Amino acid sequence: MKIKKEILLVDDDLDILDSLSIILKSNGYSVQTAINGQEALKSLITKKPDLMILDIMMTTETEGFDLAYELKNKPEFENLPVIIMSSFLDKVRESGPEAFQHILGEEWPAKWLFEKPVETDKLLAKIEAILDETNIS
């Protein structure tokens, strides 16, 4: 199977990293993984992927957001498509929105959000659409 595109998958949950890596690879994608924002940044500098899937809450409640905002402000990464994937909305429902005002009051650093657990068919379709839309072929 021909490799479609390179995806950087960033999540501190090793089960999610493993399962999504298998799914993405079985659908022809080359996959890099990182377990936190710092590791992801090193990976991005080494080899820029075609798309990044990024968890919000890792070492801190906003680590994914922090990385996405940082990348938006770097010319070499400002056009990198980022899919945010998180159980954040469940967390907001459980804890109440007051605990997350510092996040909810800001513009989100990515256009696409998938809530965990993610429906892989929908995620794969969205990845294809994003890559087509951004003319990365």
Longest distance between any two alpha carbons in the chain, whole Å: 48
Per-residue pLDDT of the chain (137 residues; tens, 9 = 90+): 465 799 999 999 999 999 999 999 999 999 999 999 999 999 999 999 999 999 988 888 778 888 998 998 899 998 999 998 887 666 655 665 555 555 555 566 777 888 888 899 999 999 999 998 876 44
Q: What pLDDT is attached to residue 123? A: 96
Domains and CATH numbers, the chain: 6-133 (3.40.50.2300)
Q: What pLDDT is attached to residue 135? A: 60
Contact 84, 68 (CB under 8 A): yes
- Reduce the DSSP state of residue 43 to 3 states and report it: helix
Give, in degrees to the nearest 5, the angle at Cα 133 between 53 and 74. 55
pTM score: 0.84
